Every structure is written in structure tokens, then in C-alpha cells.
């Protein structure tokens, strides 16, 4: 086993890729917007993040190698992306059983449905450019669909967002769609003209539809004036420096293409290599671990919102849109790593699955499977890391091994979520709130009146009179005793927070939140005796 550390991905605020064409500046009508100069985004506060990821390597390698061996994988590669860098990777098995060439980070794998997020990103790029709207009826761009039979008389028209979020009403079509991958555009249009079957009413339920993404590919072709594959390559892959990504296996350099197999009759059988045609938008991409790490790094770099150059192939805010689940569903039976109940909210964003568990941990993920191949990406925007794996065995996208790998990385405790620094305006306001609370005890009301005029919103004493607030403060502060010290405010966001006033013999927690005015003013204060 050898340790290979890849070069950084250079995912700085200015440069998204280490090589390749410069990224394109996204056009914006808000080029001269005003921003809050004192805003500071959440940040990682614990040191040793990279060391912690490297320390978890033996556990991850054991997980992936053990699963690959037990599941009869021909070859597999996996890697960890942390803070924009592929910090390590390792591999198992061979590219081709005939040549016995080992899998490495330059090996090109079919990544199947991982392609879908690129398709969604392309749609969003066209949206950002004003070329289409996500609420456009699909028939505006594909009039061939106008004759499709609706499931009910009150079915709404299918809009582009329905296709993106798997809510179009088209039925689940795995693995039928895999065998259509090489179909021509005319084949796709003939299918549409011949009529389509729907399982649900558009917008009423989630159901995974590859065909919906094939329709998106055709929309991209028509709206952009370029074939889908060309548009994605020129507008997304090249700006990200993804120069090891292909659409036709015949274009992959000799010796670098993973050959697909299936395990059947206690032996490996070679799968025919699939060509990519009109269904390429559902899963036609072929890429390397290095290139996918660049892509995952780009997604991670969109979080949190921050100042700085925004010169990726799409805006950071657009990437963050992709991570918002539409039509989320409660998985009440979900369990945590310890086997105990841990309900989770699950949904599908734009080309990516989204899951937030009972601990508030959000995971963005997608699996991919084709005859001969499996792929999986899982990343955690709030924690800044992700895990990628590719394999050349039919439908070998094992989520279980990824879940184990994630837990091994989380186990260090160092890969904790970002923490929000104390905004300077919030810290100033917290000190004023503390002084106001104490001023309610004064026999002379002048200090409280002066502070109130300076910091309180007009609703404050209308909602509850000054007399009642002063009475409550006297009761709670009387129980707390003389205030000895006051903690720094713990921010909830830019405009609200809590802090503790330590008395003798007790303490009290103060919560306050502010109005949308500029400058913001305090609209609510809650006191809780601890």
C-alpha cells in the first residue's frame, strides 16, 4: 500500500482549477451591489483537519478494500476531498482483467448518473444567462411533448424544474434507461411522439426519472445552440480544469479506460461498452478521480456564502441552489451509525440527493450505476469534506461503505462543522442589551430610556410594557444576585444571539433578536433563569 498525496485543487476564491482555460465570469445584473463590509462567514476553528483525514486513512482503506473483495469488484478507486484538496486516494484491483493494469487516479470510469448534476448545472447556467426559466413549460422548448397524454384532467403542465427534481410524473425507469444511452435524438423524439406513460401527476410526488434528464439534455441543446455534450464541456468542464473527462469511450487515451464487468455464474463477464447519444445527459460521462475531485471541491467551495471573486462556471449561489431539497420527505425509520433511531429529512435538489439527519448533519450525494460500472459521491458542505469512489463492476455504487467511511472521518471530532464568528455589530448590541437589562433595576429611568431610544425597535414596549419588563428583570436578577461577569454573545446568525449573565448564586440566559431595519434594532429580549 502506498500513500499518494495529490496536488491541491487550487480552489481559492480566485482560481477554481490549477490548469485549463480560465473560468468564465457569470453575467450579473447585480454587479454593483452593496455588501456588508463587516460580514464574516462561518469558519472552521479546530486545527489539524488534514492530519485527522490522513489519520483515518487506514480505516477507510480497510472499508473500501474489504467491500471490494467481498463484492467481487474488478477494480475500484476512492478518495477524500477536504477543503478543496484531494488529500489522499487509494485503489484496488485492475482496469482490465486481460491486461491486469492496476487502477490509478488517471483511470477513466463511466460515472453514470453522477452526470445528472452536470446536466442540472448546465440548465442553471442557461437560467442565469436569461435563456430559459425553470418554470418554463417543457413544451416551450420541446413542442413534441405537447401531445403527451396527461394522467388526469387537472394535471399541471410539466415545467423544467419538475424534470430537474424528479417530480415530472414520469415513472422510475432504472434500468430501462441505461440501455437507451446510445439512442439518437430522433430515437428520443420518436419515443415522445409515440406517447409517454406517467405514474403520478406532475409536481405531486418524487419518482426517479432518467427520461426526464434526457429531455433536459435536448432542451440544453436547443436553447444553447450547441450539442449537450459540447455545451457542458465548454461551459463547465473546461472552466473547472476537468480535462480528463470524456463522453465517448473511444476518445479515452489507450490504457486509461476502465473496462466494465459483471459478476455472474461465479465469474467475471465483460460488459459491452456503452456509447453516449441523446441520453448522455442521464449518465454518459467518463472521468477520472482527479477530475471528479475538482468538481466536488467546486461544490464544497460554494459554502458558506462569502465575499470574494465569484468566477466559477456558475455563481456560488447557483451551486448552493443545487443543494436544496425539493419536496423533502421524512425517513422516520432512519438509523444513525450507532444503530439507534435517527430520523432524517431526505429529498432531491437539482441533480443531487440531499439528506439532513437528526443531528442536523447535511449530506449531498448521488450514486451512479451502469452495466459494468458504479460510482458514488457524498460530501458535507457544512464540514468541508467529501468521499468519492468509482468501480468497474455492474451497479457497484455501494452507499453502505461510504456511510462507514464518513463515520470514520467524523470519528476524529476534528471535522466538525463551521462555527459562526461573533459579528462585531452583534457583539456591540449584546453589550447594550446587557446594560439595558440591568438598567431596568434603576430607580431612575433615564439610563433605560436613553438605551431604549438608541437600540429598541418601535414594537418593543408596545408588545410588553416597560413596567412589566422591569418587573420581570427585577424578579430574575433578584434570584440571580449581583452580576459578576457576562459571557461573549453566542451568535445564531448576524442579527440574533444569546449570552449568559453570571450572578451569585445563579445565572441567567439572555436571548435577543433584531429587526430588518438598517441599522437593526432589538425587537425582542427573553430572560431565562438558569
The DSSP secondary-structure symbol of 332 reads: T
DSSP string for 472-507: HHHHHHHHHBS--EEPPPEESSSSEEEEEEE-SB-E
Q: Are 490 and 512 in contact (CB under 8 A)?
A: no
List the grid coordinates of 108: 477513466
In angstroms, the CA 325 to CA 351 distance is 10
CA dihedral 228, 231, 236, 240 (to 10 degrees): 120
Question: What pLDDT, on the 0 to 100 scale, is given for residue 291?
Answer: 98
Is position 464 within any domain? yes
In angstroms, the CA 252 to CA 287 distance is 9
- Give the domain range for residue 451: 424-529
In angstroms, the CA 80 to CA 57 distance is 9
Is omega for the bond preceding 425 within 30 degrees of 0, making it cis? no
List the grid coordinates of 85: 484538496
Is position 259 within any domain? no
Phi and psi dihedrals of 336, rounded to 5? -85, 180
List the grid coordinates of 229: 455534450
List the grid coordinates of 53: 483525514
Question: What pLDDT, on the 0 to 100 scale, is given for residue 36?
Answer: 86
In angstroms, the CA 523 to CA 458 distance is 8
* Residues in the chain, pLDDT under 50: 1-28
Q: Are 448 and 433 in contact (CB under 8 A)?
A: no
Is position 519 within any domain? yes
CB atoms within 10 A of CB 136: 17
pLDDT tens for each residue of 92-124:
999 999 999 999 999 999 999 999 999 999 999
Is position 343 within any domain? no
The DSSP secondary-structure symbol of 393 reads: B
Phi and psi dihedrals of 123, rounded to 5? -60, -45
In angstroms, the CA 386 to CA 81 distance is 5
Is omega for the bond preceding 175 within 30 degrees of 0, making it cis? yes
For residue 40, CA distances in Å to 36, 381, 491 come to 9, 17, 12
Q: Which of 496, 492, 50, 44 is nearest to 304 (CA)?
A: 44
List the grid coordinates of 527: 430572560
Question: What pLDDT, on the 0 to 100 scale, is given for residue 33?
Answer: 78
Cβ-in-10-Å burial (0-12, 13-18, 19+) of 296 comes to buried
113 is catalytic: yes
**Catalytic choice (12, 71, 113, 396):** 113
Q: Are 378 and 409 in contact (CB under 8 A)?
A: no
Residues 6+ apart with CB under 8 A from 389: 64, 76, 77, 78, 79, 375, 376, 397, 398, 401, 402
Taking the mean position of all CA atoms in its chain, how far away is CA 136?
A: 24
Is position 473 within any domain? yes
Phi and psi dihedrals of 182, rounded to 5? -90, 0
In angstroms, the CA 175 to CA 172 distance is 9
Give Rg (Cα) of the chain. Answer: 27
Is position 22 within any domain? no
CATH number at residue 436: 3.10.450
Residues 6+ apart with CB under 8 A from 464: none
Is position 440 within any domain? yes
How many domains does one find in the chain? 1
Question: What pLDDT, on the 0 to 100 scale, is given for residue 31?
Answer: 60
Question: What pLDDT, on the 0 to 100 scale, is given for residue 195?
Answer: 94
For residue 527, CA distances in Å to 97, 278, 324, 421, 509 come to 69, 62, 35, 23, 6
Is position 475 within any domain? yes
Question: What pLDDT, on the 0 to 100 scale, is given for residue 2?
Answer: 31
Amino acid at each position: 500500500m502506498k500513500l499518494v498525496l495529490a496536488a491541491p485543487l487550487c480552489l481559492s476564491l480566485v482560481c477554481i482549477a490549477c490548469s485549463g482555460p480560465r473560468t468564465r465570469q457569470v453575467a450579473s445584473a447585480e454587479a454593483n451591489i452593496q455588501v456588508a463590509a463587516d460580514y464574516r462567514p462561518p469558519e472552521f476553528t479546530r486545527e489539524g483537519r488534514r492530519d485527522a483525514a490522513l489519520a483515518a486513512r487506514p480505516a477507510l482503506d480497510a472499508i473500501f478494500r474489504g467491500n471490494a473483495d467481498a463484492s467481487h469488484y474488478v477494480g475500484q478507486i476512492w478518495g477524500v476531498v477536504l477543503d478543496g484538496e484531494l488529500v489522499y486516494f487509494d485503489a484496488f484491483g485492475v482496469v482490465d482483467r486481460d491486461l491486469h493494469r492496476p487502477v490509478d487516479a488517471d483511470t477513466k470510469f463511466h460515472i453514470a448518473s453522477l452526470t445528472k448534476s452536470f446536466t442540472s448545472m448546465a440548465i442553471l447556467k442557461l437560467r442565469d444567462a436569461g435563456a430559459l426559466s425553470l418554470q418554463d413549460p417543457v413544451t416551450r422548448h420541446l413542442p413534441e411533448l405537447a401531445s403527451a397524454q396527461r394522467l388526469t384532467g387537472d394535471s399541471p403542465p410539466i415545467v423544467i424544474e419538475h424534470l430537474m427534481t424528479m417530480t415530472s410524473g414520469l415513472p422510475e425507469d432504472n434500468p430501462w434507461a441505461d440501455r437507451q444511452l446510445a439512442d439518437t435524438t430522433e430515437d428520443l423524439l420518436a419515443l415522445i411522439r409515440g406517447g409517454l406513460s406517467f405514474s403520478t401527476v406532475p409536481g405531486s410526488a418524487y419518482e426517479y426519472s432518467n427520461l426526464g434528464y434526457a429531455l433536459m439534455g435536448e432542451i440544453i441543446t436547443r436553447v444553447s445552440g450547441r450539442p449537450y455534450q459540447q455545451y457542458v464541456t465548454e461551459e463547465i468542464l473546461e472552466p473547472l480544469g476537468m480535462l480528463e473527462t470524456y463522453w465517448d469511450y473511444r476518445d479515452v487515451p489507450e490504457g486509461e479506460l476502465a473496462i466494465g464487468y459483471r459478476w455472474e455464474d461465479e465469474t467475471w463477464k465483460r460488459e459491452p461498452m456503452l456509447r453516449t447519444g441523446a441520453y448522455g445527459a442521464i449518465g454518459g460521462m467518463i472521468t477520472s478521480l482527479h477530475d471528479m475531485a475538482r468538481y466536488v471541491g467546486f461544490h464544497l467551495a460554494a459554502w458558506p456564502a462569502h465575499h470574494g471573486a465569484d468566477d466559477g462556471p456558475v455563481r456560488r449561489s447557483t451551486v448552493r441552489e443545487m443543494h436544496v431539497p425539493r419536496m423533502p420527505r421524512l425517513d422516520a425509520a432512519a438509523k444513525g451509525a450507532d444503530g439507534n433511531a435517527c430520523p432524517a429529512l431526505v429529498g432531491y435538489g437539482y441533480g443531487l440527493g440531499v439528506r439532513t439527519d437528526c443531528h442536523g448533519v447535511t449530506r449531498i450525494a448521488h450514486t451512479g450505476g451502469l452495466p459494468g460500472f458504479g460510482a458514488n459521491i457524498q460530501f458535507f458542505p457544512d464540514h468541508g469534506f467529501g468521499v468519492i469512489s468509482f468501480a468497474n463492476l455492474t451497479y457497484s455504487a455501494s452507499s453502505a461503505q461510504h456511510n462507514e467511511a464518513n463515520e470514520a472521518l467524523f470519528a476524529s471530532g476534528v471535522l466538525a462543522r463551521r462555527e459562526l464568528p461573533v459579528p462585531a455589530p452583534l457583539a456591540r448590541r449584546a453589550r447594550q442589551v446587557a446594560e439595558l437589562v440591568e438598567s431596568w433595576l434603576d430607580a431612575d429611568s433615564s439610563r433605560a430610556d436613553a438605551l431604549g431610544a438608541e437600540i429598541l425597535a418601535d414594537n418593543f414596549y408596545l408588545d410588553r410594557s416597560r413596567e412589566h419588563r422591569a418587573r420581570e428583570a427585577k424578579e430574575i436578577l433578584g434570584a440571580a444576585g449581583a452580576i459578576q461577569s457576562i459571557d461573549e454573545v453566542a451568535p445564531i446568525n448576524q442579527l440574533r444571539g444569546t449570552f449568559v449573565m453570571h450572578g451569585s448564586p445563579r445565572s441567567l440566559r439572555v436571548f435577543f433578536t433584531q429587526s430588518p431595519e438598517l441599522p437593526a434594532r432589538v425587537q425582542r429580549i427573553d430572560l431565562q433563569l438558569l
